[in-house]
Amino acid sequence: MITSFPPFLIFFLGAILASMTFGRTRSIILLAVPVLGALNLMQLGDGLQFQVQLFDYTLTLVRVDKLSFLFGLLFHIATLLGIIFALHTDDRLESSSGLIYAGSAIGAVFAGDLITLFIFWELLAVSSAFLIMARRTEKSLRAGMRYLIIQVLSGVILLAGVLIWSYETGSIAFDYIGLDGMASWLIFLAFGIKCCFPFLHNWLTDAYPEASPTGTVILSAFSTKLAVYALARAFPGTELLVYIGATMAMFPIFFAVIENDLRRVLAYSLINQLGFMVVGIGLGTALAINGAVSHAFAHVIYKGLLFMSMGAVLHRTGKINGSDLGGLYKSMPWTTTFCIVGAASISAFPLFSGFIAKSMVITAALSEGYPIVWMALLFA
């Protein structure tokens, strides 16, 4: 008797149904998908599941362990929150693309082999590009095409690395890889593009602010966190990540403080937050990895809250440049309150989630003998 399904399948079926329905029926379907998906997730047991044979390779569509389960659960929560925020819209392209996007991220998280990972990696790229272009402006169409080119390039690099890795090792298992040879460096680069490593980050700040207010909330949750998951799976304890992450945590700040578009400010801030996660993965200790995963979990929620706040401002006023706005607390008190909660969390204010998660990474950096990195993170 079948007690569970591959988690991504529910999202793909939901996307098909959402594209064919209207009004309240479509809203019910959209809300049901992450709820049913979460219930299905609870039925999955640990280990390798749903394996299929492709030529000489055994593809593992679902591999469940503590790391994949946590990110899978996080992506279900993010999908539900994003859908609730978008219920007032009636854009079938955006809602269907969003479900395929979320399902692809979940499929990649539970992928037990590198070929399955690549398939979902590319589905993620295509579906998220449509999510950007769903705003249907000239800027969003151009940004979506530029975004798609970069994301597909990341997938091509990943595939090249996977093929070389398979040839050299005879394995396609998605486990620890480490930096050792051309194949691992190619895979590392592919992950780095999606994680917004320095000089590989412009796709995010270019594209995310051009999506609709609801589309940006969905976009902020998946691609970069999937890259964090992939790095945690394949490259934990890689010292290079410590320095890359410290750089990521610092350099976006200088762009954010001179930016006028408030959604672009949040996009730069998103890269800054990724830096803390990358440092934690690079340190590789239990405290650091737990801090990185905790920060990813918290970040999806409070960054989504901040993008929702700016989306509400854009929806209400039609403006998003800080110089054009002011005194909104008088007419938008609820949005103001929620924005303050998100801002306190991202600022690591005591008793908020960001304070706990960031403190774990910063403490791990100091305890592992990286005082300069500790100072960089503290400054960031």
The DSSP string of 148-204 is HHHHHHHHHHHHHHHHHHHHHHS--B-S---S-SHHHHHHHHHHHHHTT-TTS-HHH
CB 204, CB 267: distance < 8 Å: yes
Coil/strand/helix, residue 49: strand
- In whole numbers, what is the pLDDT of the chain averaged over residues? 91
Q: What torsion, rounded to 10 degrees, do the Cα atoms 84, 86, 91, 94 define?
A: -90
What pLDDT score was predicted for residue 92? 87
Name the nearest CA neighbour of 113 among 179, 169, 184, 171. 171
Mean pLDDT computed over 206-220: 90
Share of the chain above pLDDT 70, in %: 99
What pLDDT score was predicted for residue 353? 86
Mean pLDDT computed over 70-79: 95
What pLDDT score was predicted for residue 100? 96
**Judging by DSSP bridges, how do beta strands 57-64 and 47-54 pair with one another?**
antiparallel
Least confident of 99-108, 134-143, 166-175, 313-322: 313-322
Q: Which residues contact 351 (CB under 8 A, 6 or more apart)?
A: none
What pLDDT score was predicted for residue 1? 35
What pLDDT score was predicted for residue 329? 85
Distance, CA of 193 to chain centre: 13
State how far the alpha carbon of 126 is from the alpha carbons of 29, 93, 225, 238, in Å: 23, 13, 17, 30
The answer, yes or no, to whether residue 255 has pLDDT greater than 90, is no
State how far the alpha carbon of 203 is from the alpha carbons of 121, 223, 231, 277, 332, in Å: 16, 12, 19, 19, 31
In the block, which residue shows the tokens 């690549």? 118
Distance, CA of 223 to chain centre: 4
The answer, yes or no, to whether residue 228 has pLDDT greater than 70, is yes
Q: pLDDT for 89-133, tens place per residue?
A: 888 889 999 999 999 999 999 999 999 999 999 999 999 999 999
Q: Which residues contact 278 (CB under 8 A, 6 or more apart)?
A: 195, 228, 231, 241, 244, 245, 248, 292
Name the nearest CA neighbour of 155 among 95, 108, 99. 108
Share of the chain above pLDDT 90, in %: 68
Of 346 and 186, the structure prediction assigns the larger pLDDT to 186
The answer, yes or no, to whether residue 209 has pLDDT greater than 80, is yes
CB 71, CB 109: distance < 8 Å: yes
State how far the alpha carbon of 351 is from the alpha carbons of 210, 242, 249, 348, in Å: 33, 26, 22, 8
Name the nearest CA neighbour of 296 among 311, 275, 282, 310. 275
Burial bucket for residue 161 (CB in 10 Å: 0-12, 13-18, 19+) = buried
pLDDT interval class at 3 (50, 70, 90): low
CA distance 201 to 125: 15
Mean pLDDT computed over 131-159: 93
